[in-house]
A and B are shown apart, each in its own frame.
Chain A
């Protein structure tokens, strides 16, 4: 808002209008520019390989579980909260899925809702802690990050659990075989019906994004999420049950982590007790690159989707070009800064103002008509 007030005065002569329009266009395209740059870089350097369906599937599939976490994280961030425990929730859910498969030999269609329920319960705990017990989200989820990881490790006894369970005949059991459809590389849904089939993690990620975006933009709940993040007092006085909204976003975040659990387990064909460690940082990064503000009230799922694509495709492009591991870290960090700056046209404008002022000071007599 200050930015807009600045516009009103600082921008003056008409010659600046064109430049301002260009800047605001840049701003409205936001994170897409980053995506376009990454895509362009990939196409120019590794054209055919980069664009091949299998490569894109690999790249998006590898990030899908984190992408789904990012969607839940975005909901929480929109209410000006943060959830640091998503990685641990994913780890626990992935362990639960593998153990239900290996120990109970349950079919996937039972495992998935069980994991989602498990995640939702964890998310509910976060929500209750942050609302009724009035613990700050950062602190509450920092605590549960540790609690959930501990439960995960206790359950697994620190041993990873493989999901490719062989029966007496040496072949995979029926349930283990269908569990692979959750995302073991090379196992696709609808093979034959739709060409080479659809890779479930990618499909799941896209569906979650579409549903999430529709819920945010079309429903009352979505409005309330933005209102709570934008101005909690105003939301409350407008009749929004702010506690309920916050509990709901934390629960949804947990539910999505539970949803992503089996994907993560199937992707590496085993549930590692450390699975999901530091995924919360990737999730937050995707949301922020996608335009979400940690102060709440600003952001979207579409943005997060683009942010997730930028992160994973950048990794893919750098990998395909055999960029050294150390350099990759540097580049990825810089991208976050660039992406965030691109969303802030006022920052660019501020820089332009500064440049103009310096230029003016260089030639003091030439400006400033006195009254």
Chain B
């Protein structure tokens, strides 16, 4: 196999892009959101019926017109959004469309399970193939997607931000799988916004900007600043802003004590055990931990998303007791949350920017029982401008915006409720570097204005740069609380993987203290 050459003259979303991928190589695609990376990959995977230009596979020109056709040619794709059927089992999902059959034409359930188990082992997952996908964590689902792509005779694998939902440990596992694939001669096209990841895994990198081709570099010889410059088209001085420290005597805005949540295996909800968290006014507190450590659950519990009965413990807002009953109640008390899954939990994708942005704050615009559209429009315009959402207008459909801009719309929705406590769950997932920096700046600005921010992120550098304090969770318990000065990636990871300590329940209290003392 030689590689792929292609070009797209005269297309708005993508114009004159070329890409050569060699067998056994990891070729990274870099670019801000909206640069055309996903579009390019969708063309390669046959998702679009028609395109301009030509594609060659192993020297042979091919016309890609459907995903099924692309798969038969040996091109597999892992999408940014997971494409698994939640109510089918893991095995059924992995072999969907390629089910082994008995001679009688029935699906051979046993061979299917065995084959699925082999593929799962290949990606380093230990899961019962009969388990429904609904019960798996997002990280596991990502790896199941990978197993699904491996089920065919694979020559080219395209991965669109495969690590956006993964914590560092799972990223390592994924990289190990990628390396075994390249050793087998598979070409990998890899999209990610995390430069440090690319430095580790990629051999070559191609940068796109605004649907156009900027250049290709060997990863080994490329320097980070240069790549960012190529992506953004302007030099970026400092990637992360340095937040000002908060005075230790600032009033505590949000305090949760002995926060406990009952688990739910059906929805895959992690149980929380006596979690203590507090956030001062103007402080940014990070929640770190692996997948399934209960970080999201802490935010959701405080926000009332699990209803009043599943949660116990004492929560106070500005010292006043507060019971997390429902999101509606939370918003009324000055809380706002950016949820983990933008498309599933935050946005009505088919509706407009304005509809989405004002949804949580409609009460503000009520006038004679109607929504005062002029006041609403003014407020939304203001917020859209302040957050620099790049959109054709507030009447544009949110689903047509890029990930970063969608996330800014979610932020706008939260900010329009004028929150005093902001809960952020992976606020920069699937967001390009430029937008990331802007989101950091927004957080910084809000904190300066006195907003208390509690933030979950899987990207440790992000937490380290942004947070005043980091609380580490493992299996629903707090295993460490680190000040800005003492926090390092190593210490966070150690605490996040402190499984042994939390498993010995009787010693749990003492162990926690030891972790604190370190």
The reply to whether A and B meet directly (CB within 8 Å) is yes
Q: List 15 A-B contacts (CB under 8 A).
A: A1-B399, A5-B39, A9-B39, A12-B12, A220-B362, A220-B371, A223-B355, A223-B358, A231-B345, A237-B346, A239-B360, A241-B328, A360-B50, A370-B61, A371-B54
Residues of chain B in range 333-379 having any CB-CB distance to chain A below 8 Å: 337, 339, 344-351, 355, 358-360, 362-363, 366, 369-371, 373
Q: Are B51 and A9 in contact (CB under 8 A)?
A: yes
Give B347's nearest chain A residue, CB to CB: A234
Q: Are B49 and A240 in contact (CB under 8 A)?
A: no
Query: Which B residues touch A237, using CB under 8 A?
Result: 303, 305, 327, 337, 339, 345-346
What is the total of A-B residue contacts with beta carbons within 8 Å? Answer: 139
B residues with CB within 8 A of A: 5-14, 18, 39, 42-43, 48-54, 61, 63, 65, 303, 305, 326-328, 330-332, 337, 339, 344-351, 355, 358-360, 362-363, 366, 369-371, 373, 397, 399-400, 413, 417
Tell which of A218, A222, A353, A370 touches B7, judged by Cβ atoms closer than 8 Å.
Answer: A370
With contacts A218-B370, A220-B363, A234-B347 taken as known, whether A226 is within 8 angstroms of B355 at the C-beta atoms is yes
Task: Kindly state the separation between the CA atoms of A6 and B413 in the bound complex, as whole angstroms.
Answer: 28
Task: Kindly state the separation between the CA atoms of A4 and B42 in the bound complex, as whole angstroms.
Answer: 14
Task: Kindly state the separation between the CA atoms of A280 and B303 in the bound complex, as whole angstroms.
Answer: 40
Task: Kindly state the separation between the CA atoms of A267 and B441 in the bound complex, as whole angstroms.
Answer: 66
Task: Kindly state the separation between the CA atoms of A298 and B48 in the bound complex, as whole angstroms.
Answer: 25
A residues with CB within 8 A of B: 1, 4-6, 8-13, 218-220, 222-224, 226-227, 230-231, 233-241, 297-298, 350, 353-354, 356-357, 360-361, 368-371
Query: Which B residues touch A350, using CB under 8 A?
Result: 49
Sorted nearest first, the 8 A-B pairs with minimum C-beta distance are A230-B348, A1-B399, A371-B7, A8-B13, A239-B331, A238-B360, A239-B328, A218-B370
Query: Which B residues touch A353, using CB under 8 A?
Result: 49-50
Given contacts A233-B345, A371-B18, 12 further A-B contacts (CB under 8 A): A8-B12, A12-B11, A219-B371, A220-B371, A230-B348, A231-B348, A233-B339, A234-B339, A235-B359, A240-B359, A241-B328, A370-B54
* Closest CB in chain B relative to A186 CB, distance in Å: 39
Task: Kindly state the separation between the CA atoms of A292 and B208 in the bound complex, as whole angstroms.
Answer: 39
Query: Which A residues touch B61, using CB under 8 A?
Result: 370
Query: Which B residues touch A368, using CB under 8 A?
Result: 52-54
Q: Are B400 and A236 in contact (CB under 8 A)?
A: no
Task: Kindly state the separation between the CA atoms of A285 and B48 in the bound complex, as whole angstroms.
Answer: 32
Query: Which A residues touch B18, using CB under 8 A?
Result: 371
* Closest CB in chain A relative to B357 CB, distance in Å: 10
Q: Are B345 and A10 in contact (CB under 8 A)?
A: no
Task: Kindly state the separation between the CA atoms of A241 and B307 in the bound complex, as whole angstroms.
Answer: 12
Query: Which B residues touch A234, using CB under 8 A?
Result: 339, 344-348, 359
Task: Kindly state the separation between the CA atoms of A222 and B330 in the bound complex, as whole angstroms.
Answer: 22
Give B370's nearest chain A residue, CB to CB: A218
* Closest CB in chain A relative to B399 CB, distance in Å: 3
Q: Are A218 and B399 in contact (CB under 8 A)?
A: no
Q: Are B328 and A230 in contact (CB under 8 A)?
A: no
Task: Kindly state the separation between the CA atoms of A357 and B49 in the bound complex, as whole angstroms.
Answer: 8
Task: Kindly state the separation between the CA atoms of A190 and B17 in the bound complex, as whole angstroms.
Answer: 71
Task: Kindly state the separation between the CA atoms of A169 and B184 in the bound complex, as whole angstroms.
Answer: 100
With contacts A223-B359, A234-B348, A239-B328 taken as known, whether A9 is within 8 angstroms of B54 at the C-beta atoms is no
Tell which of A230, A241, A371 touches B53, judged by Cβ atoms closer than 8 Å.
Answer: A371
Task: Kindly state the separation between the CA atoms of A219 and B397 in the bound complex, as whole angstroms.
Answer: 20
With contacts A9-B11, A9-B42, A220-B362 taken as known, whether A239 is within 8 angstroms of B332 at the C-beta atoms is yes
Q: Are B13 and A9 in contact (CB under 8 A)?
A: yes
* Closest CB in chain B relative to A160 CB, distance in Å: 42
* Closest CB in chain A relative to B440 CB, distance in Å: 23
Most chain B CB within 10 A, of A11, A239, A360, is at A239
Task: Kindly state the separation between the CA atoms of A297 and B359 in the bound complex, as whole angstroms.
Answer: 14
Task: Kindly state the separation between the CA atoms of A368 and B305 in the bound complex, as whole angstroms.
Answer: 53
* Closest CB in chain B relative to A76 CB, distance in Å: 18
* Closest CB in chain A relative to B44 CB, distance in Å: 12
Task: Kindly state the separation between the CA atoms of A214 and B173 in the bound complex, as whole angstroms.
Answer: 55
Give B51's nearest chain A residue, CB to CB: A9
With contacts A223-B371, A239-B330 taken as known, whether A298 is within 8 angstroms of B400 at the C-beta atoms is no
Query: Which A residues touch B327, using CB under 8 A?
Result: 236-239
Query: Which A residues touch B326, using CB under 8 A?
Result: 239, 241
* Closest CB in chain A relative to B349 CB, distance in Å: 6
With contacts A1-B397, A233-B344, A369-B7 taken as known, whether A357 is within 8 angstroms of B65 at the C-beta atoms is yes
Task: Kindly state the separation between the CA atoms of A296 and B9 in the bound complex, as whole angstroms.
Answer: 39
Q: Are B363 and A5 in contact (CB under 8 A)?
A: no
Q: Are B346 and A369 in contact (CB under 8 A)?
A: no
Query: Which B residues touch A222, using CB under 8 A?
Result: 371
* Closest CB in chain A relative to B447 CB, distance in Å: 22
Query: Which A residues touch B52, using CB under 8 A?
Result: 12, 368-369
Query: Which A residues touch B10, using CB under 8 A?
Result: 12-13
With contacts A240-B359, A368-B53, A369-B53 taken as known, whether A226 is within 8 angstroms of B13 at the C-beta atoms is no
* Closest CB in chain A relative to B28 CB, distance in Å: 20
Task: Kindly state the separation between the CA atoms of A1 and B337 in the bound complex, as whole angstroms.
Answer: 25
Task: Kindly state the separation between the CA atoms of A357 and B7 in the bound complex, as whole angstroms.
Answer: 18
Query: Which B residues touch A370, using CB under 8 A?
Result: 5, 7, 53-54, 61
Task: Kindly state the separation between the CA atoms of A49 and B231 in the bound complex, as whole angstroms.
Answer: 68
Tell which of A235, A238, A360, A371 touches B5, judged by Cβ atoms closer than 8 Å.
Answer: A371
Most chain B CB within 10 A, of A6, A8, A354, A357, is at A8
Task: Kindly state the separation between the CA atoms of A218 and B371 in the bound complex, as whole angstroms.
Answer: 6
